[in-house]
Amino acid sequence: MTQTAQRTPLVELTGVSKRYGSVRALEGVSLQVHAGEITCVLGDNGAGKSTLIKMVAGLHQHDDGVLRIDGEETRLASPREALDRGIATVYQDLAVVPLMPVWRNFFLGSEPRKGTGPFKRLDVDLMRRTTRQALLRMGIDLRDVDQPIGTLSGGERQCVAIARAVHFGAKVLVLDEPTAALGVKQSGVVLKYVAAARDEGLGVVLITHNPHHAYLVGDRFVLLKRGTMTGSHTRDEITLDELTSQMAGGSDLDALRHELQRR
Amino acid sequence: MSALTETADERLLETSPLRRLLARPELGSVVGALAVFVFFACCADSFLRASSLSTVLYASSTIGIMAVPVALLMIGGEFDLSAGVLVTSSALISSMFSYQMTANVWVGVGVSLLATLAIGAFNGFMLTRTKLPSFIITLGTFLMLTGMNLGFTKLIDGTVSTKTISDMEGFPTAHDVFASTLTVGGVDIKVTILWWLGLVALASWILLRTRTGNWIFAVGGNKDAARAVGVPVDGTKIGLYMGVAFGAWISGQHLLFSYDVVQSGEGVGNELIYIIAAVIGGCLITGGYGSAVGSAVGAFIFGMTGKGIVFAEWNPDWFKFFLGAMLLLATLLNAWVRKRAEATK
């Protein structure tokens, strides 16, 4: 951890704010993403988690503060630009096209082609083979890459999306609540692939409202509450209990415990 | 990574060849086409004659030429209610331009291509800009084109049909390209059948083997996911509308050159026939699923039913009844197939 702190972060937000009209969605949020590390963004509903990833993914632009990619101050104009700069975002709900086969989904938007002129065509064999290999590399063994991706479970679909980002050379992987809609076991599977992506050297931003999941894999923790940052810690500074209690609002949780214990 | 090498697919079931067959979008239409074929082969003695089959194929091709691009558009998740009258508009533009300018008819054909493509692009542009449902946008263009077809024709020619252009320069060659009849082994083959087969082949190639095809499936299946991975959603949709316009141009020129005048009120209602052919052929009304071959089979069912009723010497009033029943059956089958294909978890 100590030597990574010296390196330039892949993505760094400093005092970033975002307003939607008169609504202040984010105020003064700072965050660092390093290669081979997982930065967790924790917060309850409405804390500003989605706004934060939309800025990193290039869907929205920040109003104040500084966004740096590889140490260079920048603004992302579109999701395409974010992708080109190595930032891949896996959304919870809009990651895939359910009726399309796994291999078509895998290469969607970056299809390899062969041939020239009017005969330029998809390199279907390469696409099928690469999909299978890339999934295997992440530890996912799909017997049939031709099945519609909608036939996979929610967790498997997340994993395919993660494998996809890794394959296309993403340097930063942004995951929007990858475990939110999943059961305990499936969440575990997804977290394993998140860790696998980290081991491949990617910087990961994991958005979640589950401190247990975050603490399992996270190296840094950023806590959001109603659009402001209420805490920013590295793993050695904080325990799971502290994280949980901060996330739940600390004193609110104590009060709740008192109330419940009296019964 | 060692912990990750274990596989997590014990729940994956072996897919049988039968299930794969069931997942083909064309399946329902092929079964339907066989049933209709056998039915009329039994009920109408003259149905199996070569000349009858060539009539059936011709009728199918006039629908099929439009059903192909309409199917692509539906896979891309949109409708085009203006497709029927656009065919007439395309024919009118071609005919009136050549006549008024006393130009070679090929000039009119070229102008018509540009104008028709522009109308298609307009549909797509309005759709992607306003984000309104394509149903509303193209209903608007449908009504406007219907009015313009009649209005301009009356304004320029004084009647509801155009002036004859059969004596004009270039007419014979244009007739050859768009409306000739070839005789192969004593059987008449209308050139529209070749156009139709060519379009089916081209559309299948685009859909299944090109990047554009991947994008078409994606924008129809999940527009937001497609956009998020960098697919040019708006461009794809505009392109699909221009594809429909291209089909309308071919159909329009056929309409013009098989006679030499165009009735300005024609085409109304045909847009639904194209959509029905595409749906019978396995296109999902919600987008993201379907095939060009399926639309051809759907058009063939149309052709067989329409002509078969005549060969069987039945009252053609029943044609629409058969059509409605077929549409319902096809849609039910498609819904079932989709449920199997998309079954999650």
Query: What CATH number corresponds to the domain at position B213?
Result: 1.10.3470
Cβ-defined contact of A96 to B231 (cutoff 8 Å):
no
Determine the Cα–Cα distance for residues A31 and A220; give it in Å rounded to an integer.
Answer: 9
Determine the Cα–Cα distance for residues A252 and B218; give it in Å rounded to an integer.
Answer: 46
Q: Decide if B2 is inside a domain.
A: no
Closest CA to A79 of A71, A70, A89: A89
- Residue B17, pLDDT score: 65
Q: Decide if B51 is inside a domain.
A: yes
> Sign of the CA dihedral B287, B289, B292, B297?
negative
- Residue B259, pLDDT score: 86
A148 neighbourhood in chain B, CB within 8 Å: 23, 341-342
Mean pLDDT of the B182-199 span: 91
Cβ-defined contact of A147 to B345 (cutoff 8 Å):
no
Average pLDDT, chain A: 83
Mean pLDDT of the B38-52 span: 88
Question: Is any Cβ of chain A less than 8 angstroms from the Cβ of B315?
Answer: no
Question: Is any Cβ of chain B less than 8 angstroms from the Cβ of A125?
Answer: no
Q: Decide if B228 is inside a domain.
A: yes
The percent of residues in chain A predicted with pLDDT above 70, rounded, is 93
Determine the Cα–Cα distance for residues B297 and B281; give it in Å rounded to an integer.
Answer: 6
A139 neighbourhood in chain B, CB within 8 Å: 1, 4-8
Tokens 């950023």 — which residue? A222
Triad A150, A176, A203: Cα angle to 5°: 115
The token pair that represents B153 in the structure block: 């024709």
Question: Is any Cβ of chain B less than 8 angstroms from the Cβ of A163?
Answer: no
Residue B23's pLDDT band (boundaries 50, 70, 90)? low
CA-CA distances (angstroms) from residue A74 to A14, A49, B157, B256?
Answer: 12, 21, 62, 58
Mean pLDDT of the A133-142 span: 80
The three-state secondary structure class of A206 is: strand
Q: What are the helix (H) ranges across chain A?
A: 2-6, 49-57, 79-84, 102-107, 124-137, 154-167, 184-199, 211-217, 240-247, 251-261
Per-residue pLDDT tens over the stretch A87-131: 888 877 656 888 899 999 999 888 888 888 888 899 999 999 999
Q: What are the helix (H) ranges across A65-101?
A: 79-84
The three-state secondary structure class of A39 is: strand
Mean pLDDT of the B200-221 span: 95
Question: Is any Cβ of chain B less than 8 angstroms from the Cβ of A124?
Answer: yes
B22 neighbourhood in chain A, CB within 8 Å: none
| Number of domains forming the structure of chain B | 1
CB A58 within 8 A of CB A79: yes
Interfacial A residues in 48-67 facing B (CB < 8 Å): none
With a cut of 50, say whether residue B12 has pLDDT above it: no
Most A-contacting residue of B2, B4, B224, B285 (CB-CB within 10 A), to test interface: B4
Mean pLDDT of the B268-283 span: 91
The token pair that represents A169 in the structure block: 């050379």
Per-domain boundaries in chain A: 2-98+170-261
Determine the Cα–Cα distance for residues B38 and B101; give it in Å rounded to an integer.
Answer: 51
Kindly indicate whether the domain formed by A2-98+170-261 is annotated with CATH number 3.40.50.300: yes
Q: What pTM, to 2 d.p., does this model score?
A: 0.82
Most A-contacting residue of B9, B222, B334 (CB-CB within 10 A), to test interface: B222
Cβ-defined contact of B343 to A150 (cutoff 8 Å):
yes
Please name the amino acid found at residue B253.
Q
Q: Which residues contact B41 (CB under 8 A, 6 or more apart)?
A: B47, B48
Neighbours of B244 (CB within 10 A): 31
CB B60 within 8 A of CB B308: no
Question: Is any Cβ of chain B less than 8 angstroms from the Cβ of A110?
Answer: yes
Taking CB atoms and an 8 Å cut-off, how many pairs form between chains A and B? 116
Residue environment code for A193-225, b if the CB has 16+ CB neighbours within 10 A, otherwise e = bbbbbbebebbbbbbbbbbebbbbbbbbbbbbb
Residue B341's pLDDT band (boundaries 50, 70, 90)? low
Question: Is any Cβ of chain B less than 8 angstroms from the Cβ of A183?
Answer: no
With a cut of 90, say whether residue A261 has pLDDT above it: no
Question: Is any Cβ of chain A less than 8 angstroms from the Cβ of B225?
Answer: yes
- Residue B194, pLDDT score: 95
Task: Say which residue, B326 or A13, is predicted with more confidence.
Answer: A13
Of A97, A138, A189, the CB nearest to B225: A97
Determine the Cα–Cα distance for residues A172 and A13; give it in Å rounded to an integer.
Answer: 14
Cβ-defined contact of A139 to B5 (cutoff 8 Å):
yes
Cβ-defined contact of B228 to A189 (cutoff 8 Å):
no
Of B4, B14, B23, the CB nearest to A139: B4
CB A132 within 8 A of CB A102: no
Determine the Cα–Cα distance for residues A79 and B54; give it in Å rounded to an integer.
Answer: 53
- Residue A48, pLDDT score: 84
A147 neighbourhood in chain B, CB within 8 Å: 15
Q: Decide if B345 is inside a domain.
A: no
Most B-contacting residue of A90, A91, A100 (CB-CB within 10 A), to test interface: A100
Q: Decide if B217 is inside a domain.
A: yes
Interfacial A residues in 130-149 facing B (CB < 8 Å): 138-144, 147-148
Per-residue pLDDT tens over the stretch A197-253: 888 888 999 998 888 888 888 899 998 888 888 888 888 888 888 888 777 666 666
> Alpha carbon A185 to chain centroid distance?
19
Tokens 């840094």 — which residue? A220
Per-residue pLDDT tens over the stretch B116-162: 999 999 999 999 999 999 999 999 999 999 999 999 999 998 888 99
Of B11, B221, B345, the CB nearest to A97: B221
B188's enclosing H/E stretch is strand B187-190
Cβ-defined contact of A110 to B214 (cutoff 8 Å):
no
Determine the Cα–Cα distance for residues B241 and B76; give it in Å rounded to an integer.
Answer: 10
- Residue A148, pLDDT score: 85
Interfacial B residues in 153-212 facing A (CB < 8 Å): 205, 209-211
Cβ-defined contact of B211 to A196 (cutoff 8 Å):
no
Cβ-defined contact of B230 to A110 (cutoff 8 Å):
yes
CB B333 within 8 A of CB B29: no
Per-residue pLDDT tens over the stretch A57-88: 888 888 888 999 988 888 888 877 888 888 88
Task: Say which residue, B218 or A51, is predicted with more confidence.
Answer: B218
Mean pLDDT of the B191-206 span: 96
Cβ-defined contact of A192 to B345 (cutoff 8 Å):
no
Per-residue pLDDT tens over the stretch B277-307: 999 888 888 899 899 999 999 999 989 988 8
Domain hosting B49: range is 29-334
- Residue A190, pLDDT score: 84
